[in-house]
Structures are given as structure tokens and as C-alpha cells.
Amino acid sequence: MSILTESATRAPREARPLSDLVAAKRTALALGLVQLTLHIAFAISSNDPRIIMPHLISWIQDLALLSLVISAGSLAALLSPLSYIGVVAALCRGTLLILGAILALYPGMLQSSLAFPVNMFNTDLDTATVFLREYAGIGMLWPAAIALCAGSAAPRFTFLRLPRKRTLLAILLILALATLFGEAPNPIVFSIKDKFRELARVGARAVPRLVPGVSHGLSASTAAPSPLESDSPPEYNHIVLVVLEGVTAARFESEFLNKPGGFSERNAKHARYFRNYWTTNLDSYTSLIAMTTSLEVPFRSYSDPARYEGINAFPNAAGALKKKGYRTLFVSTYEYQPFVPNRTAWDRIADRRDLPGLNGWTSLGTSRMESATEDRAALPLILKYTASAPRTFVLSELVYGHTPEWMASTGLTQLAYYDTYLSELLNGLAKEGLADTTLTVVVSDHGERSASSAPDNYRVPLLIIGKGVPAGEDTEVRSHLDLQGIMAHYILRVPLPARRSNLTTVGSTERWIYGEIVPPDQYVFIDDRTGQVLNRGGRLEPVAVHKRFQELINLVDGIKY
């Protein structure tokens, strides 16, 4: 065989690994274009011009992540023997496809991600499973499917190639690097940066890890009865419990209580505000359970709900009022609400599918998690139900403000919307002739979920409105665990619950943070995974806080049901 012939037969074999690297680069380009399309589509559908820049920066950072994979693959290929370049290129493509599928999932949830940033590396399998099954749904996976299809087919697209003059690409990469110095809207980049910050702080554990509790026999049959089961005759025939979404007391006091001509001012003569009232949890479901059962859930809300499901069978507000002849309704305007406290205690559970009409109301439907219609759309149902029986108890879980999309779609701030909602509710009760016999309880479920180690974030508003309610303020320390007792005080004229000396707290699902607060200025917040004290004030000892919290876990983890 001649040298020319031998060279000709060897060339294709040597060119094959190089073509594999070209395929990887085409895959990266295809995924970058998919991301650009998704960012444009979701930015337009958001109806919020403010989201355009975060989408643009996030896309630039998407390109940076894809480029890092390509650069790492090219460097590995350069350092590898010729026979291994194909393997390196295949691994590079596989990594790109996985990264592309993950990146494709977030543009549709960027608004929520900006409001509630989450480190994805701190998410466990239980949390991810609940999120996909109960909130995101299979329908949210279609962008990942598009990315995988486009990335897989990219090697066949010969038009996908890097320009010879790579000035534009260099500019994009420089911009991407520049964006890394600020807060990253891209949740993947945010998670990477947050992880590095966490690693830089990690030292010796201040406290040991929490461990599962040991069963001790606590059960619903041995629990104390609800304070609403008192034998006293009720002062009010109708109770409406309105649960605001994620409002701190500081915001409520500055934007709602002091609004000239607003709901609070118009009802000041028969309204009492609890200024030192605190939430126990930074998620809605566990907060609602605390309000209705007076038992705290010492676990992350959506990590493993089955772990604390037995609490829902304990004596609760809906069950106690049913015994007194009240018809009970739980209502939210979500399309799908799998997390209803004390589900079996309600005579009726209503969601968006039960609303009398959706025309003219603002609705969101970008994801299963946020698919809902604005809260005012449920007022006709609430008023009709309240007027349908001599005694009724309605718990209305509001959705407005759960995502920034509500403000973008309506142009109304959260508390301005709530002012309108509550005004229309009381006007409707007056029109039905029920205003004087209705007690309205306005409370927030929790504060900002993204700030689990900020003590002020756990102080939330509680406002009681009704004929006969003494005007003014209550400044004693109380919490969601006292809400049944506070309601019983006004409905059944029993004494108010005793003030609390300390408060146990649980952060949001995304990160296992627990703590204790002794108002006004003593607190400790601990990250269970690292054992680090995230925030501390006053004389509380982390070891003692850990011990007390572990005792609470032992109490609840041992529930028999």
C-alpha cells in the first residue's frame, strides 16, 4: 500500500473525533437558541416590562454556562490521546443535554424565582418529588423536552456553526462574566454562587443534626380540645377568616393600617390590631395547620407532608365550630390546591373550578403551581355561602401576591388589592344584613419566604373586626398557635390566651432552617444541614435552642394516626 493510500485511509479516522467536537459545539448553539426563544416567549407573556432585563441577563448567563462546558470539553480533548477524543466529546454532549434540559425549565418560572430565590443544590429528593407531582406537573416539563430534542438533533444542522469572527461571542461572554459580580437572576448561577458562599462560611458545627423522633403515643384522642369547643353561646353567627399571602407586620402597618380612607380607617371603631403577633412557619400549609390546630409543624412544609399529616386529625377550628352548628367552607382561587388543612373537617372545599364566573377577572395560568384567578372572584361564593345558613365559618386563603405576576397583570400593589377585597367583603356582608353578626379575622400566613433567618420576617399582622370588638391594639406576644384562643375570646367570651415568652420557628421548605425568637430582640436561627448559626441576637444559646427544637420534633414525629 502506498504512503498516499495509507494517508487517505487514516485521515477519516483522525477527522472523526474532531467532528464529534463540532457536534458538541452545534449542540451548545442549539441549546442557546432554545433558551433565547424561551426567554423571549415568557418575557412577552408576563406582561411586565421589568422582567425583560432579568430574562436578558439570565440568557447571557445561560450562554456562559454552556460555554464553560464546551471549553472544559475542548481542553480535555486537547490533553487526551487521539483515541479518547470521541469519548470526551460524547461526555461533553451528554453534559450539555442535561444542562440544557435543566436550564429550559426555569424561564417560565423566572418571576417566582426572583421573588423567592432557591439554592437548587439544597433541594432533596422528597422536596423535588412533591414539587414536580403537586405543583409543577408534567405539563411544566415541555421546555426540557424541546431542549433535549433540539440538542440531540443539532449535529445534523450544518447551518449551526460559530462565526469565523467571534467578536459577538466574546462580547456576550464578557457580559456574562460581568453579571456574575451582582445578584444573579439566573437560578442556576444564583445556586452556584450561593453554594460557594456557603462553603466559604462552613466551619465546625455549632450544633448536631436533628434526628427523627421516637414514637411516644401522642394522638388526636388524647389531645386537648379546641378552645372553640367552650360551652359558652357564640356572640357571632358568622366568622370569616381571611388569610393574606406572605405579608409582614411592618408592611401591613405602613401600607395598610395608615392608608387614608382605607379599610382599616373606616372600621377603626370596632377593630383590634395585634401588634406583637408572630407566625411559626414560613410556608402556607404548615402556617394554616398551626392556625387551625394550635400545633406547630417542626418540619419543612413540602419536603415530606406525610410525616405530619396526623396533625390534621387533631381538634381544630373547623371541627369545633361544626359541633356548634356552623357550616364550614374552605375556599381558595387556585385551580389546584392539594394542601388543605384539616381536610375532612370542612363541609365544603372550593377552588377556582367552583367559582360562579371567571369573565372579567384576572387569571394566571403559566404553571400548575400558580394557576389561579384573583381573590375577588370568590367573594360572591363566600357571601352566598355565609347567607345560606344561620351559622357559618369561612376560611379564605388568598393567592394575590404569591407571584409578582399578579401586580404586573393588574397594576395594583398587594396591600392595595387586599384593601379593595376586604372593603368589598364587608360591603357585601352589610348588603346581606350580616355585618353586625359577622366576626372578620384578617391574618397573614407568613412573611417573606426567602428570608428564613430574619426575625422581623416572622412578625405578621392580625386584625379582628366585628361589632362589639373593642378598638385599639393588643401588644402581648402571641402566635398562630394562639389564633383559635383569640377567636374563642371574641366568639365565646373566654379569656385571651396567655402571652408567650418565646417562639419556635421553621423556615421555608427550600432550606432546613429552624430557630427561636424571644421578642423583642433575642433570636437564634440555625441551618440544620451545616450546623451553622445563621443569625443571632441577645443571650439565647444555640445548643439550648437545638435541644428544645429536637424535643418538639420528638413530640410531633411520634404522633399515632
265 shares a domain with 162: no
Is 83 within a domain?
Answer: yes
174 shares a domain with 48: yes
190 shares a domain with 52: yes
Report the CATH number that the domain containing residue 342 is assigned in CATH. Answer: 3.40.720.10
In this prediction, the residues of the chain whose per-residue pLDDT falls under 50 are: 1-16, 18, 561
What are the b/e assignments for 496-521, b being 16+ CB within 10 Å? ebeebeebbbbbbbbbbbbbbbbbee
253 shares a domain with 139: no
236 shares a domain with 197: no
pLDDT tens digits for 124-172? 777 767 666 666 666 678 899 999 999 998 888 766 665 555 666 667 6
For residues 46 and 111, the answer to whether their CB atoms sit within 8 Å is yes
Is 529 within a domain?
Answer: no
Domain boundary among 455, 481, 498: 498
Predicted pLDDT of residue 159: 64
Determine which helix (DSSP H) or strand (DSSP E) holds 223, and give its type and residue range.
Answer: none
Domain boundary among 498, 528, 552: 498
Is 371 within a domain?
Answer: yes
447 shares a domain with 393: yes
480 shares a domain with 394: yes
244 shares a domain with 189: no
How many whole angstroms separate alpha carbon 440 and alpha carbon 392?
12
97 shares a domain with 42: yes
Predicted pLDDT of residue 356: 85
- Closest by Cα among 62, 45, 61, 188 to 108: 45
40, 413, 396, 335: CA torsion to nearest 10:
-10
Predicted pLDDT of residue 163: 57
Q: How far is CA 71 from CA 152, 159, 165, 328, 458, in A?
A: 19, 21, 18, 61, 45
pTM listed for this prediction = 0.86
What is the domain range of residue 245? 232-289+315-498
Predicted pLDDT of residue 216: 62
Angle at 87 between CA 83 and CA 90, to 5 degrees: 145
Is 541 within a domain?
Answer: no
Residue 449 has phi, psi (to 5 degrees) of: -70, -20
Dmax (CA) of the chain: 109
Predicted pLDDT of residue 215: 63
91 shares a domain with 37: yes
Is 425 within a domain?
Answer: yes
The letter for the amino acid at 98 is: I
246 shares a domain with 143: no
- Sign of CA pseudo-dihedral 177, 179, 183, 189: negative
How many whole angstroms separate alpha carbon 332 and alpha carbon 213?
33
Domain boundary among 498, 513, 528: 498
How many whole angstroms separate alpha carbon 233 and alpha carbon 410?
43
174 shares a domain with 95: yes
Q: What is the mean pLDDT of the chain?
A: 88
Q: What's the number of domains the chain is made of?
A: 2
Q: Which residue has the cell 429552624?
A: 514
For residues 54 and 117, the answer to whether their CB atoms sit within 8 Å is no
Is 376 within a domain?
Answer: yes
Predicted pLDDT of residue 120: 78
Rg (CA), the chain: 28
